[in-house]
Structure formats: structure tokens, C-alpha cells
Structure 1
Amino acid sequence: MDVTRSYGRGGDGAEDAGCGNEDAGDGVRRAGDAGDGSHRAEDAGDAGHREEVAAGRAGAGEDDGFAGLRTREFGYLDEGGHTYLDHTGAGLPPRSLVTASAARITGGVFGNPHSESPASRASGQLLAEARRAVLAHFGADPAEYAVIFTPNATGALRLVGEAYPFRRGGRLVMSLDNHNSVNGLREYARAGGAATAYVPVSGPGLRIDEEELRQALSGRRRRPGPARGRRAPGARGLLAYPAQSNFTGVRHPLEWIARAQEHGYDVLLDAAAFVPASPLDLGRFHPDFTVVSWYKVFGHPTGIGSLIARRAALAKLRRPWFSGGTIYAVSAQAQWHVLAEDEAAFEDGTVNFLSIPDVTAGLRWIGGLGMDRVRAHVAGLTGRLLDGLRAARHSDGSPMVRIYGPEQAGAARGGTVALNLLGADGRIVDERIVIRDSADHGISLRTGCFCNPGAGEAAFSLPPRLLRSAARRKVGSLEEYLELLRLPSAGAVRVSLGISSQPRDIDTFLAFVTRTYRDRVPGAGGLAARAGC
């Protein structure tokens, strides 16, 4: 019999969950109250947030701390003449985090944490500290929540999907606005015999239709059960939705978490696009599963995500296999095994013990800035960007830009803006032209469907009938598929802002748009065929 010990567990020293990250935890808790309001107000009319956005616009260009931060931590952008506008794709690493990481790794001896050696214990202590730091950052009670380290948010979603008890009679309810890594859960649900349902988005802001959501959660069901955490007998399934769209930047209400739980659902919250610039208070909102990717928050390290799960929800999961690091005991000849009792049961093999401590450092770094200040900074810049996009016109007064999602900065949107540029003829400029031209000007942005086909289908008003018809046709290329759907483009242009962004980045982009496309109809000649969306 082989007995495997696991170190760095969240249960060790859980009573001092804030240790090692007091600044980060305190900063987020202070910011949490401001963040909660952003989901109570669906419209951009929330007075406090309007003032915050206005202050951000008015202070643009002044050194509010973020201009100096740009010089100190992200000076490589200006040194290289680069305009970075893809923060939803990846955050940028501060220089101090990278240098401190190298100093830590080269200044100590760290071994595989699945042992008792001094090097192993050193790694185990840093892993335990990282779990406590994550819980403190989100204001999560260690008695209620556990932190599982994964390669990314997608890896966290897969853990839930493969182990969730989908069964006949159950349901997986998803918003149409979801990343493909969430959409993929439907394959696990179907394999288990559960029904799947999408809740559509509607209106110019492409928000989830709340009435449709209510029907999806309560239709043909028993009366709602008690408040969150105390389910009606026999959970009916899983609701999965994003706190913030990675396509449009729209923020979806966190109040839906408790509402779904009252109807007997577990809730999976995709927070990957939300937490880089917004506080998330798991002491107030209690999703059963929350997924994040840390490189989107502070750029370094890559390859580390987290599943922050309620311990009661983890107990429902049934893993389809076991591996090194996930077991307490196992026999090869007798063919039995006992899974570890804590987070280790979900961390396959040896975790990235050299990089996970960088999460602790990153949370301390961003906590020192203050999540409320980060949110205000990004909100002000987003308002400046949206103002400029709406003002962009051809000489005849026709718009140069079509925006998808909320057109006003405010409580109900983040710093992700999806758009298409319009030529002088009013037609959409091919996204391949935009990515080519922007690259020539040293601008990094994103084009395509951003792994969110549902939001894209809604943005381009594609009816299900047309999509089903196109799927039945044999096509030899993406170009043929776009022709069947009568689409002028394979997606949109996404501009997203973050901690390192400055007003001059927005001004550079707006000037590029005007100089390159005003009163022009760009030709698509010489463009390479699309390999995918």
C-alpha cells in the first residue's frame, strides 16, 4: 500500500487566513462595499459610479498614482513604443513581481511538496500561504471555502464539469453570454443525461434576459427553497454564468447567485474577466464554484488559476479518476484507493510549486494599490474610450464605429469594449484589416469572436434557425460558413483596459482609427484566409 501525504492544504492554519497578505485582504475588504453596488445597479445611472467615472475622465493625464506606476512597473511599454489594449486577454506583469519571483526562486531551496524534507516543507508552507492569500483577497471564510490550484480558469471548469453529478432529470442552465470553456460543460451534462438550456441576451446592451432566467430556474419546479447554503432537497442542477462578459464587458448581477440557490441550483461563477479590475466579495455573495486565471489579474505567473469552491459543494463532486497527489492511500493489486480529504484530492500530480507563491506576491501587490482605486481607474479610462468611439465620424457625419454592449461607462460594465469599424460606405471593415493595420502601428488588441460564440451570435443578430441550417451544410472553410450566415466579418474588434493603461493609450488608438479609416473604404485584397474564429 502506498500512502501519499499532501502539504500546503488550506485547512492548515485556516484560523489565520489573512496571514502573509494582510494588505491585500484589507484593501479588498474595504473595496468590497463599493464593488457590491456595481451589481445592484444594472443601469449606468448609479450616482456614485457616475461620479467615479467622471472623476476618472477629469483626472486623466494627472498622476493619480497610476501614471507613476506605469513608469515604474510597465515602462517597457513606452520604451518599446507599444500600445497594449488586450487586458482581457492577459494582464501585463509588473517588473517588481518578476524580479522578486526570480530572487525568491534563486535564493532558496524548494522541493516537491509531497514529502517531509526541508525543501518540501518550504514549498508546502508557501502553498498554504497562497491558499490563505486567495481566500483573504475574496473575503472568503476558510471554514466555508477551499482553494484548488489549477493551470487556468479552464482547468478549474473542467474539474467541476467532469466531477459534477449531472444526471437525468437535472439541468445545466447557462447564459448565452459565456466563454467556450463554460459552454463545454454541456458535454459533461449531456453525457450524464441532464438537460441543457441557454438563457438569451437581449437589448442593445446585450444583457441576460432576467425574465428568461427566472423561467429557466423556476419553470416546472417545486416552490423555491430556503436561502443560500440551505438547499431545497435534491439540487436541481447547475447555473453557470460570467460575472463580466469577456466579449462586451457587461456585468451580470451577482444577486442571481442566491436566487438560483433558492431554486435548488448550484452556481458556477466565471470571474476570470471580472476580478482583474473589480472586487469580488465571497463573504457576501456565495457561489458554489468560482474560477479565475491569475495571469489576467497581474500578468505573472502564467499557468496558474484557481477553483474557489464551497466545501459543501466539493463534497458533491465525484472525480472520474485518481492520480499522484490526489490520494491518501491506494493499492495496485487489490485495486482500491482512498482520495485525500481536502483540496489535494483535486490537484492532479505535483502543483506548480515554484510559481504558486507568485500569486501571493501578486495579491499583495494589487491589494496595495486598492481594488477600489483600480476599478475607478479602469472605469474612467473606459468612459474616455467610449466617448471617443461615439464621437468618431466620417466627413458626412456617419459613424465610424459600431459598439456591442453598453455604450456608457458605469456600474454595469467593465473595461472590455467590443466594436466594429465602419467604412465610408457604412459597411463593416474586415477584422483582418484592423488587426494588420493596428499591428503596423504597434497596437495590440484582439479580433474575432473571443471564444464567446453566444455573445457574438447575439451581437450579429443570428437566429437559431439560420445557425442550425448552416450547421447541416458541408462547408470547406470558415469563409464559406460566414457566407452561409451572411456575415460581413468573422467577429469584432476588442479593446480592453487594465491597471497599466493610460489616457495616451486611448488617444493613440482613437487617432489610429481616424487617420486610417476616416472617409475610406479599405480593400480586403491580399488578406490570408481565416483559420478560425
Structure 2
Amino acid sequence: MKKEQTVSHIGGCSSGGSGSFAELRAHEFGYLDEGAHTYLDHTGAGLPPRSLVTGSAERITGGLFGNPHSESPASRASGLLLAEARQAVLRHFNADPAEYAVIFTPNATGALRLVGEAYPFARGSRLVMSLDNHNSVNGLREYARARGAIAAYVPVSGPGLQMDEGRLRSALSGRSRVPGILRGKDRRPLAGRAGSRSRGLLAYPAQSNFTGVQHPLEWIAQAQELGYDVLLDAAAFVPANSLDLSRFHPDFTVVSWYKVFGHPTGVGSLIARREALARLRRPWFSGGTIYAVSAQAQWHVLADDEAAFEDGTVNFLSLPDVTAGLEWIDRIGMDRVHAHVTALTGQLLGGLRTLRHSDGSPMVRLYGPEGGGAARGATVALNLLGADGRIVDERIVTRDSAARGISLRTGCFCNPGAGEAAFALPLRRLRSAAHRQLDSLEAYLELLELPSAGAVRVSLGVSSQPRDIETFLTFVTETYRDRVPGVAGLAARVGC
């Protein structure tokens, strides 16, 4: 098991006592308070600790590192650091190197593309997805449909917008032959009809980047027993939660490291079971991916390890920053990070529930689990309500929060399915917009009968402090209490 330890310093400051995260904020993220920033978009991107950035600069300027596709001293130095980074990722997830391979990618989206383009979809196979997937996961359906596979979505429902386990079983069993949203009502638990790993691929998020709901990791083994490979989108989950790959064994796991510790950007990972990786068939090759090749005879032999999936030259100057970042977060302790952001999320939710207009009507509509034992991460989606009970257009919130130095996220967060469920959009209405070419966001909102283009997302992380939440709650109260904001003067913006 991955060790849990108490350390004497977090980023150079004492880790003892309740003030440790406040000290961490001052030491590593002091630029927030120095610039009067309130940062509430950790699901969008983590913030870089000062020590990681300065350490990166010292390493790069203090050594000589070259393209690792060579045997020169500079290349060997890079190759050694690349190997150390792979080992650090495996250690962090408690993954057996005999079972798992680590492929470095530009981001989680790049990792998903690798799986989508090479997965052996075929006529009769299935791609089963949660409706609250990120668009980078939704895009897998284009690979599946191009090869004749069925793409089926499992809906999210209820006030918590959680994926229904009975409908998931219906999708995996293939009882519904109609592509699209599964509407079966099978309530039996996912369980044990063993089959060969040939039925298709299940792709779902460990944590929704829209609502913060955390879907059960136990579904991984249950889907595999039904003959599926499983792709776990862990990008929103791993910044504040432990993922133990000795306990849960997804075939493919995707992450973006800037979401965990802010630096470097432009580096993600596909952590793949070696037996699942062997089933992928790449549709092309590139520099760095082949063992041997002929131009005139037109043949090639792919490398037999992770290199077969790392196109061109990896970001060799930044990969050591992944090692350093993982060491940094492990010194703090993921359990402590989790407890920290969970407490702050509770403070945020509690404060939002108390916000009322003078007549007692609520100022906030929350999406995602609020209680009842449902797991949730430190991501809170909401809409603000005016004094007339109508939703405050999210573009107004973008403008007003920016003027107060608050960074948050508005829109659909590249997660249209969760947004469709949150606003209860019927499939008939969505289909009516499929072939309409409208010239403004307002035209689309009118067609879909939507009060706003999306929601407001507040997300917390390792650098967050209670005063950030207090600043946001004060902003909402002072700006919108007993008011009915309009949309005049706002530029139209189409998209998520």
C-alpha cells in the first residue's frame, strides 16, 4: 500500500496543527493575496506552488538535457528523468509496473484520443458512456460510430444528477439496441455475468467536472466481469482524492497533471493496463513510436512498450516537474488535502443554502449531491436567482465576479450532458436544434427555452482558504440580493 506519512514541512512551512494549510497558502501561493485574487476554479486548473516553479528553473539551468531519442550524455540525462517520472506516477497510484504502463501525453484529452483512435471498436460492440462526461470523453463516440459500434449514454437523474446503476446495467447488457440515451428501468445491481473482454468500452468520470458527484469505482470490476474494458476519466478526481490502482483496476485511466499541482501545464498521462494496451491498434506511426521502419518497402514495426504511444518527442524538460509535483503533493498527504477541501466544500454549501432575498426566497439553485451519503468532490455547480426567482444569466456573473477579482467558471464546463440534465432539456427539443444555424447565443437559448447559457462553478483546491469562500458569499449577497439583473450590453457568446 502507498505509505501515508506525517512530514515536518509542507513546501517549507510547518505541517503541524490546524494552521498548516494557511501557512502553505502564504509560502507557496502568496501571489494570490499579494494580488488580491480570489481563485475558485481549481477544477479548471490547479495553481502552481512557487517552490515547484523555482525548482524547475534551477534544474533546467543547472544541467544539460537533450532529446531522449539518442544515446548522447544529454539524451541519457533526459531519458533517466523520463524513467523516474514514470516510476513516480506508478508509485503515486500504487500501481504495479508489471500490470500498468505510463504514457505521457499533452493532457487528459490527448490520452483519450490515443484510446479512441486505437480501440478495436467493431460492428456489434458498444461504447457506453455517462451522460455527464466531459466533451473529450464524448468525442470517443465518433471513433466508435465510424467503425459501426453502438454508442449509448446512461442518464443522470435526481437532484444529485447521479448515474443510475440499474440503467448502467441495461446499457452494458445491450438490452437496448437503440443508440442514444438509455431509458431502461432494470434495478438489479451490476454483477457477475462473466464474458470475454470483447463487448466494448465503458467510459465514465470518477468525478463529474460539472456537479462534483463521484461515481462508484466499484463499477470498474463489475463492468469488466460483463466483458467490458473500462476507461476512467480521473482528471477531476485525483487533485483531492487518492486513486489506488492496486484496489481498482481500470483498463485506461487519464489525468492532467496541471489540475493536480498547477505546474507544468501541457503534460498528462494515460495509465493503461498492459494487457489492455496490447489490444489497441494504432492507425499510424510517427517519430519516436517505431522500432524499425522502411520508407520504400512501406512497412514499420511499432515499439513494444510505452514509446509506441508517445508521438514525436515528449516534453522532456517538463516531465521531471511531474516527479517533483508528485513528491510535493505526497509530502502534504492526499488524505490531508482531501479532508481540507471537503471541509471547505461543506462551508461553501452551508453558506450558499443560507443566502436569501428579503422575502425569504432562495438566492441560489444548487446542482449535484447535497446530502444523503452521496460522494461528492470540491466542485459546486449552481445558478444565482434574482429577486423575481429567475436565473441570473451566467454571463452577468462572469462580468461581475471579474470586477471583484474573483476567478470562477461559468458555462457548461465542456459537459453538455450534465447541463442538459440540470436544465431538464427534453431530447425532442435538443434534436430540433441539431440542424439549425442560428447567429447568436440568444437565438439558441430561445430555441432551447433556456434561461441562461449555463451555470456557475465554484471549485476548491489545496491553496483554498475559508476567506475565499467568505469573499464569494459576500460578493453574491452584495451584488444580487433583492435585485433583478438584466442582460443588456452583454456580447453574445456561443459554445461551452
- Above 0.5 in TM-score? yes
Alignment partner of 1:141 is 2:96: yes
Match in the other structure for 1:415: 378
Q: By how many angstroms is 1:477 displaced?
A: 2.5
Alignment partner of 1:482 is 2:445: yes
Match in the other structure for 1:442: 405
Match in the other structure for 1:259: 222
Q: By how many angstroms is 1:245 displaced?
A: 0.2
Alignment partner of 1:26 is 2:3: yes
Alignment partner of 1:303 is 2:266: yes
Letter matched to residue 86 of structure 2:
R
Letter matched to residue 72 of structure 2:
S
Contact (CA 8 Å) 1:227, 1:261: kept in 2 or not?
A: no
Match in the other structure for 2:181: none
Distance 1:384 1:98 in 2: 31
Alignment partner of 1:150 is 2:105: yes
Q: By how many angstroms is 1:469 displaced?
A: 1.6
Q: By how many angstroms is 1:27 displaced?
A: 3.3
Deviations 1:97-151 (A, max 9, x none): 0000000000000000001111100000000000000000001000000000000
Letter matched to residue 443 of structure 2:
E
Distance 2:308 2:218 in 1: 31
2:420 equivalent among 452, 457, 460: 457
Distance 2:444 2:33 in 1: 41
Match in the other structure for 1:209: 164
Alignment partner of 1:386 is 2:349: yes
Distance 2:494 2:195 in 1: 47
Match in the other structure for 1:101: 56
Match in the other structure for 2:130: 175
Contact (CA 8 Å) 1:227, 1:258: kept in 2 or not?
A: no
Distance 1:381 1:109 in 2: 43
Match in the other structure for 1:284: 247
Contact (CA 8 Å) 2:363, 2:386: kept in 1 or not?
A: yes
Alignment partner of 1:526 is 2:494: no
Match in the other structure for 1:429: 392
Match in the other structure for 2:361: 398
Mapping for residues 46-61 of structure 1, pairs under 5 Å? none
Match in the other structure for 1:3: none
Q: By how many angstroms is 1:525 displaced?
A: 1.2
Structure 2: give runs of 5+ residues left out of the alignment.
7-16, 177-188
Q: By how many angstroms is 1:410 displaced?
A: 6.3
Distance 2:436 2:491 in 1: 24
Match in the other structure for 2:231: 268
Letter matched to residue 294 of structure 2:
S
Distance 1:464 1:281 in 2: 38
Contact (CA 8 Å) 1:386, 1:409: kept in 2 or not?
A: no
Alpha-carbon spacing, 1:183–1:463, altered in 2? closer, same or farther (3 Å): same
Q: By how many angstroms is 1:411 displaced?
A: 6.0
Question: What is the DSSP-based 3-state SS (H/G/I as helix, E as strand, rest coil) of the residue aligned with 1:27?
Answer: coil
Distance 1:127 1:401 in 2: 47
Letter matched to residue 197 of structure 1:
A
Deviations 1:154-209 (A, max 9, x none): 00000000000000010000000100000000000011110010000010000001
Letter matched to residue 273 of structure 1:
A
Match in the other structure for 2:65: 110
Letter matched to residue 414 of structure 2:
C
Contact (CA 8 Å) 2:212, 2:368: kept in 1 or not?
A: yes
Distance 1:70 1:227 in 2: 47
Question: What is the DSSP-based 3-state SS (H/G/I as helix, E as strand, rest coil) of the residue aligned with 2:316?
Answer: coil
Letter matched to residue 100 of structure 1:
G
Distance 2:298 2:4 in 1: 49
Contact (CA 8 Å) 1:268, 1:287: kept in 2 or not?
A: yes
Contact (CA 8 Å) 1:169, 1:195: kept in 2 or not?
A: yes
Distance 1:410 1:436 in 2: 35
Q: By how many angstroms is 1:82 displaced?
A: 0.3
Alpha-carbon spacing, 1:226–1:462, altered in 2? closer, same or farther (3 Å): closer
Letter matched to residue 359 of structure 1:
V
Q: By how many angstroms is 1:471 displaced?
A: 1.8
Distance 2:248 2:39 in 1: 33
Deviations 1:389-448 (A, max 9, x none): 000000000000000111249660000000000000000001111010000000000000
Match in the other structure for 1:294: 257
TM-score (norm 2): 0.93
Q: By how many angstroms is 1:234 displaced?
A: 4.8
Match in the other structure for 1:69: 24
Structure 1: give runs of 5+ residues left out of the alignment.
1-17, 19-24, 31-61
Distance 2:55 2:123 in 1: 51
Distance 2:4 2:28 in 1: 20
Alignment partner of 1:165 is 2:165: no
Distance 2:452 2:413 in 1: 13
Question: What is the DSSP-based 3-state SS (H/G/I as helix, E as strand, rest coil) of the residue aligned with 2:390?
Answer: coil
Contact (CA 8 Å) 2:165, 2:190: kept in 1 or not?
A: no
Percent pairwise identity: 82
Distance 1:180 1:366 in 2: 28
Match in the other structure for 1:200: 155
Alpha-carbon spacing, 1:157–1:320, altered in 2? closer, same or farther (3 Å): same
Match in the other structure for 1:499: 462
Question: What is the DSSP-based 3-state SS (H/G/I as helix, E as strand, rest coil) of the residue aligned with 2:410?
Answer: strand
Question: What is the DSSP-based 3-state SS (H/G/I as helix, E as strand, rest coil) of the residue aligned with 1:260?
Answer: helix
Distance 2:451 2:461 in 1: 30
Contact (CA 8 Å) 1:386, 1:408: kept in 2 or not?
A: no
Q: By how many angstroms is 1:478 displaced?
A: 2.5
Contact (CA 8 Å) 2:191, 2:222: kept in 1 or not?
A: no
Distance 2:464 2:362 in 1: 26
Alpha-carbon spacing, 1:226–1:313, altered in 2? closer, same or farther (3 Å): farther
Distance 1:400 1:81 in 2: 26
Distance 1:530 1:337 in 2: 46
Distance 1:219 1:180 in 2: 23
Higher RCO (Cα < 8 Å, 6 or more apart): 1
Alpha-carbon spacing, 1:307–1:412, altered in 2? closer, same or farther (3 Å): same
Question: What is the DSSP-based 3-state SS (H/G/I as helix, E as strand, rest coil) of the residue aligned with 2:213?
Answer: coil
Q: By how many angstroms is 1:501 displaced?
A: 0.1
Letter matched to residue 26 of structure 1:
K
Match in the other structure for 1:46: none
Distance 1:377 1:513 in 2: 23
Match in the other structure for 2:183: none
Question: What is the DSSP-based 3-state SS (H/G/I as helix, E as strand, rest coil) of the residue aligned with 1:350?
Answer: coil
Match in the other structure for 2:9: none
Q: By how many angstroms is 1:364 displaced?
A: 0.2
